[in-house]
Structure 1
């Protein structure tokens, strides 16, 4: 079996620029790989290539069930993906959970004021509750203090 080639081996031809050009090339290659593998992996999921080095493809997904499925069926996916020219040396797939991101990173809106009617209901509920901690929490909520 031949040694896998490191596609991202840095050439010493360029002047050092803090490895920015090298990292940019890596990210570009991983984006291309992401587009290639996306339709071949379990759906519906938005897979992303995080790394491909020494025959190990590291990809991320947001759905734990899809990640588990890919992990269990890894051998079948390796045989399918290794037919692509870019992944001929593929030997193993590492699948990691990616944290879901909210669109536009907008802050979650919180309710600032409780209506007077709701405050009265909370105070009345607090008077009926026998648990002192719960009663105190309801009173705090009714007074809009956190």
Structure 2
């Protein structure tokens, strides 16, 4: 039986590039491993490998129920996953809760365009209001000044 290859072990050639190539290859290996283990783990969760070192596989998921199921049935999943060549020395699975990515709302700046009638109504309202601050605010709104 051959010795397992540790793709996460830093080599001398990575020192010159500031570890970027090492980290890139590490992330690529984790992504490849994620695709291999995904169908074997509880579904419909989107599992993600974040580390595999010294026989410990660390993965994340977004669903607490699926994470609990995986932790509870860890021995069965270890026996299944250890059939994969890269995970032949697997002895433990650590599972962490991952926050789902939040899509940020796209804020677009829209210019306010008031019709001439609306501007005139705002100016007229400003004339009738006794509060000077409110009157000034209405006049600014009518002139589209910020």
Does the CA-based 8 Å contact 1:6-1:54 persist in structure 2? Answer: no
1:39 corresponds to which residue? 39
Show the counterpart of 2:26.
26
Distance in 1 between the 2:61 and 2:22 partners? 25
Q: Could you list the runs of 4 or more consecutive aligned residues of structure 1 that deviate by over 4 angstroms after TM superposition?
A: none
Alignment TM-score, normalising by the size of structure 2: 0.67
CA contact 2:51–2:59 (8 Å) conserved in 1: yes
Structure 1 contact 45–62 (Cα < 8 Å) conserved: yes
Q: 1:140 maps to which residue?
A: none
* 1:48-78 deviation line (CA, Å, top 9, x unaligned): 0000111110000000000000000000000
In the alignment, structure 2 segments of 5+ residues that lack a partner are: 108-146
1:42–1:14: structure 2 CA closer, same or farther, 3 Å change rule?
Answer: closer
Task: Say which one has the larger Rg.
Answer: 2
CA separation of 1:101/1:14 partners in 2, compared to 1, >3 Å: closer, same or farther?
Answer: closer
Give me the whole-angstrom Cα distance separating, in 1, the residues matched to 2:53 and 2:87.
10
Question: Which residue number in structure 1 is paired with residue 16 of structure 2?
Answer: 16
Secondary structure of the residue that 2:77 maps to in structure 1? Answer: helix
Contact 2:45 / 2:61 at 8 angstroms: preserved in 1?
Answer: yes
**Aligned-residue offset at 1:11:** 1.4
**Partner residue, 2:54:** 54
How far apart, in 2, do the equivalents of 1:75 and 1:106 lie? 42
TM-score, length basis structure 1: 0.67
User: What CA distance in whole angstroms lies between the structure 1 residues aligned with 2:106 and 2:75?
Assistant: 41
Instruction: State the SS of the aligned residue for 2:25.
Output: helix
Q: What does residue 89 of structure 1 align with?
A: 89
Q: Secondary structure in 2 aligned to 1:6?
A: coil
Identify the residue that residue 80 of structure 1 maps to in structure 2.
Answer: 80
